[in-house]
Amino acid sequence: MDSNKKFMRKAIALSLKNIENGGGPFAAVIVKEGKIIATGANRVTANTDPTAHAEVNAIRKAAKKLGTFDLSGCEIYTSCEPCPMCLGAVYWAHLDKMYYGNTKADAKNIGFDDSFIYDEIELKPENRRLQSVQLLPDEAIKAFESWVNTTDKIDY
């Protein structure tokens, strides 16, 4: 448990340092076999990239370092409970375990409210705030059919 606290403290320290460097109050650390293999901080405004969240940045670095998109065997320590995008990335990366410091309620209290996204996900596409229209499904399905018939694909 002491090593877990050490890695969480590292994520927290990185989140504080990131504020000093013009970023948001979020950071993440990815650990494999007791060693930090990647870190990430929120660089949304600094990089003018809405996807530059701490967890996504850390996952990208870890995947590159390990040469794989499958981060099984790794754990993530994040200074805050992830937003829906980052939580999805954590699942897609196949991380074994996630530890977090602040909750999504804590984030909401300082102006980072993701609850509307969770609410939107529950709605049918036609009822969401983001206007969504299916277009050319008969043509788009051809890529999926091609994928199914590909014999040398790498499943993920």
Specify whether 55 is catalytic: yes
Written as six digits, the tokens of 112 are: 């980072």
Question: What tokens appear for 27 in the block?
Answer: 């950071």
Q: Where are the beta strands (DSSP E) in the chain?
A: 27-32, 35-41, 74-80, 97-102
* Encoded amino acid at 71, one letter: L
β-pair type (35-41, 97-102):
unpaired
Measured distance CA(92)–CA(62) in Å, rounded: 13
Which residue in the list 20, 33, 55, 75 is annotated as catalytic?
A: 55
Cα 23 to chain center, whole Å? 16
Q: State the catalytic residues.
A: 55
